[in-house]
Amino acid sequence: MPETFEAKSTKSQLHAIDDALEDDNTGLVKEMLQQLQPCDIALLLESSRSRNRLVLWPLIEPELYSDVLEELSEDVRNGIINTMLPEKITDALEEMDTDDLVETLSTLPESVSQDLLATMDEQDRQRAELGLSYGEETAGFIMNTDTITLRPKINVDVILRYLRLKGEMPEHTDTLYVVDSEDKLMGGVAITKLITAAPDTPVESLIKDSISIPVDMEDGEVANLFERYNWLSAPVVDSNNHLVGRITIDDVVDIIREDAEHSMMSMAGLDDEEDTFAPVVKSTQRRTLWLGVNLFTALMAAAVSDMFEATLSELAVLAILNTIVPSMGGVAGNQTLTLVIRGMALGHVTARNARWLLSKELAIGFLNGIIWSVLIASVIALWKQDFMLGAVIAFAMMINMIAAGLAGASLPMIMRRLNIDPALAGSVILTTITDVVGIFAFLGTATWLLL
Amino acid sequence: MPETFEAKSTKSQLHAIDDALEDDNTGLVKEMLQQLQPCDIALLLESSRSRNRLVLWPLIEPELYSDVLEELSEDVRNGIINTMLPEKITDALEEMDTDDLVETLSTLPESVSQDLLATMDEQDRQRAELGLSYGEETAGFIMNTDTITLRPKINVDVILRYLRLKGEMPEHTDTLYVVDSEDKLMGGVAITKLITAAPDTPVESLIKDSISIPVDMEDGEVANLFERYNWLSAPVVDSNNHLVGRITIDDVVDIIREDAEHSMMSMAGLDDEEDTFAPVVKSTQRRTLWLGVNLFTALMAAAVSDMFEATLSELAVLAILNTIVPSMGGVAGNQTLTLVIRGMALGHVTARNARWLLSKELAIGFLNGIIWSVLIASVIALWKQDFMLGAVIAFAMMINMIAAGLAGASLPMIMRRLNIDPALAGSVILTTITDVVGIFAFLGTATWLLL
């Protein structure tokens, strides 16, 4: 009898391995690793610090290498492959499904992957090179080539007997594909239909009105289609409608997860492949770029303040309040930016409703401006007993909230037109705009009205 | 022959409907809506401003209502349900799969859902109330009850004949479940196995070592299991191992998408159900809370600066540079925070490796401190021709980078222990810490050394 899945039991197995590793009891570790499925071994490796990964890897059964490598994230996988002997890598690669093979090769340095390709057998090299030729982030890159195809005229009984002879089907097969005499795709037949149809039904009559995916479609769009139509798998065709492979939902799930993570990580200035347990120096390096960009923009904001040095030295209270308006603009702008980036990813925001959305976000900026102007003016007038100072900060807040709405809505649209990923650089550009506008508006108005 | 999927063709259909809507040509709109699948109608509604949704809805065929409502996000769906007659809502709800029915009811105001339940027929009310009783974000809430069960002793041929008689199977059926005489789950049999096995094989011998999901498991954990084990569906059991339903990958995909969006939206201070095309006032309301919290923290930072008013009025240059250290700390801290939040969501960060991770992020903070201290000191010494000022800002940078690493790594762990969602409030608490520490360190050191 199967046991109810105990997430805790996997966890405690992993903890026990951790303990044995601490005690340097490699014999015990090896024994315990044999109880685990490849995906659990992958989880163990991902949750271990990099030093321990190198201890664990040689203790894993070599026949599991390909299954474990398939489940690892790019950074962790490449770290391990770097320590393996070339012939062991080739062995592991040759056992992979085409999509995983292609993905693994594509993340390795060009020279390494070329060397590996040269040592692979003819058939594996060909399927790898074909997949690589479609280019990353396309349907061809993530598809598998293990389709079962049928001719239109044969009947259900013949097919069932053929499948019984064959003995097994590729993982995640829910549909068989019918092709004509020129190998062009006619459509798909669900295997549930094969089971429920009368034995003498010709397969032709069971074809559902299936749609196919062109081999060069972008993978994000493939994921949107799977989500929208609730597919489990979909056929991939070339420009002549020849069936070249199929994409299954498990790969699509990875794309959805990665795309969503990509936005979240990019917006915080991180590489989305960043490995939580990488060594300190490597992690520090990876975060440097973003901090450098931020230092530059912070210096820009300081340079704007610098233009008002005379005002600041006369009225220290301005120095104290100088961060409030930029900070509110940054938050409001980032709200709009995030919403528009998500809307574009889901396909809701298009060129057609962009103008409407822009005017909506402008109106929100205006409303926000009124609300927070009144509030901050009251707070400052009470705190600093200075009504005029309250009016100055209120005016600056109004200006900056409108600028935030405008920048937050238009930046991702402009960046997309320029083919720049808005999640990656949108936030930093936006913050620079709201900082500069906010400081200018506040210190400029103060110089004009308060001196 | 099926056509290659043309994303453009759906898009142009939607655009044509938009145009017809602009021209108030409702006859044409209605005709064009009949060409669309429910999921495409849902996309159209999601991408339309709220006013147009109310024009479109009555033009849709009522028999599609349940399928379209299922595909909509909470905000959009509730907006539409609000405009429908109660009996039409009941009709639509009764046609939904259990999981969609339960989800829809749970997002409606309590009084509305109670009224609707009262008008539903006995059977539908029971399945809805059962699902609702498990509570949101559990396996029971997202499962369907349309399982096909088998007895262990019958053979493949009998099953195939039974299925052929039945004529069709529930959507996304890849596994049938074997239960014993007490209805306890014995395991699952893949339908591909039924096809490839010899007709006289008893079903018992085809059971794969399947694992089942307890009905009260959290949905995020269910999603992690599906991802890790590449499942298409999984059986759900109660505490006595009775089969109560099954979860299919399409619902899991929604959870993965929602969880990932939730983190991204929360970190930007947005409600993750926020509808891009909601009316201005509603959107403004939804964003108010976060802006209010941010105003409070900005005022706190200002209050810290206020303590150094004497220093600031003596040295205006401090006012100019006062934002650099807090800003760098905020970015560095958010990098760590985001990484730890993701690590926790993926199950990589646990209580066991928390201490190690904390010391790693502290070390990165230290390294970051050295790098950016040296850099900022050089820039300031050159710009302001003041070596001592450079030393002061370098020291403050060092302190704040270490504080950022410490806060970024420990906050999500502390918040999780307190059952607070770190994605929701982590970023604002972190920024408050790095602002306060940064300003204190900079202005404090300056008061001590430069006056």
- In the prediction, which pLDDT does A261 show? 81
Return the residue in A251, A327, A357 with the most chain B beta carbons within 10 A, the one to mutate for interface testing: A327
What confidence tier does B306 reach under pLDDT thresholds 50, 70, 90? Answer: very high
A449 Cβ under 8 Å from any chain B Cβ? no
Structure tokens at B148: 């096909």
Greatest mean pLDDT among A115-124, A130-139, A401-410, B175-184 lies in A401-410
The answer to whether B229 contacts A261, with C-beta atoms less than 8 Å apart, is no
Question: Hunting for tokens 């159209």 — which residue is that?
Answer: B44
Kind plus residue range of the DSSP H or E element containing B290: helix B280-306
Give the integer Cα–Cα distance in Å for B266 and B258: 11
What confidence tier does A81 reach under pLDDT thresholds 50, 70, 90? Answer: very high
| Mean pLDDT score, B179-200 | 90
A349 Cβ under 8 Å from any chain B Cβ? yes
- The residues, any chain, with a CB within 8 Å of residue A444's CB and separated by 6 or more, are A308
Q: Is the pLDDT of residue B1 over 60?
A: no
For CATH 3.10.580.10, list the domain ranges present in chain A.
Answer: 149-248
Scanning A233-272 for CB atoms below 8 A from B yields 237, 241, 249-250, 252-254, 256-257, 260-261, 263-265, 267-270
Give the integer Cα–Cα distance in Å for B36 and A71: 38
What confidence tier does B2 reach under pLDDT thresholds 50, 70, 90? Answer: very low
The answer to whether B290 contacts A1, with C-beta atoms less than 8 Å apart, is no
DSSP class of residue A215 equals: T
- Span A297-334, pLDDT tens digits: 999 999 999 999 999 999 999 999 999 999 999 999 99
The answer to whether A196 contacts B43, with C-beta atoms less than 8 Å apart, is no
Return the residue in A9, A172, A253, A362 with the most chain B beta carbons within 10 A, the one to mutate for interface testing: A253
CA distance B342 to chain A (A): 8
Q: Is the pLDDT of residue B124 over 70?
A: yes
- In the prediction, which pLDDT does B320 show? 94
Q: Is the pLDDT of residue B7 over 60?
A: no
- Span A176-210, pLDDT tens digits: 999 999 889 999 999 989 989 988 999 999 998 66
The answer to whether A226 contacts B253, with C-beta atoms less than 8 Å apart, is yes
Q: Span B280-450: which CATH code?
A: 1.10.357.20
The answer to whether A320 contacts B312, with C-beta atoms less than 8 Å apart, is yes
CA distance A86 to chain B (A): 28
CA distance B413 to chain A (A): 14
- Classify burial at A165, counting beta carbons within 10 Å of its beta carbon; exposed 0-12, middle 13-18, buried 19 or more: exposed
For CATH 1.10.357.20, list the domain ranges present in chain B.
Answer: 280-450
ipTM, two decimals: 0.84
* Choice between B88 and A4, residue whose per-residue pLDDT is larger: B88
- In the prediction, which pLDDT does B74 show? 86
- Classify burial at A335, counting beta carbons within 10 Å of its beta carbon; exposed 0-12, middle 13-18, buried 19 or more: buried
CA distance A107 to chain B (A): 21
Averaged pLDDT of chain A: 89
A301 Cβ under 8 Å from any chain B Cβ? yes
Domain B7-142 indexed as CATH 1.25.60.10: yes
The answer to whether A319 contacts B318, with C-beta atoms less than 8 Å apart, is yes
The answer to whether A312 contacts B316, with C-beta atoms less than 8 Å apart, is yes
Scanning B190-229 for CB atoms below 8 A from A yields 191-192, 194-198, 209-214, 217, 221, 225-229
Structure tokens at B218: 């959290």
Give the integer Cα–Cα distance in Å for A124 and B169: 38
φ and ψ at residue A236, rounded to 5 degrees? -115, 135
| Mean pLDDT score, B367-388 | 95
φ and ψ at residue A401, rounded to 5 degrees? -65, -40
- The superfamily (CATH) of domain B149-250 is CBS-domain (3.10.580.10)
- Span B49-73, pLDDT tens digits: 888 899 999 999 999 999 999 889 8
Q: Span A149-248: which CATH code?
A: 3.10.580.10
- In the prediction, which pLDDT does A1 show? 36
Question: Hunting for tokens 């009709």 — which residue is that?
Answer: B91
Averaged pLDDT of chain B: 89
B38 Cβ under 8 Å from any chain A Cβ? no
CA distance A118 to chain B (A): 31
What confidence tier does A168 reach under pLDDT thresholds 50, 70, 90? Answer: confident
Give the residue on A whose Cα is nearest the Cα of B16.
A352
Question: Hunting for tokens 């306060």 — which residue is that?
Answer: B436
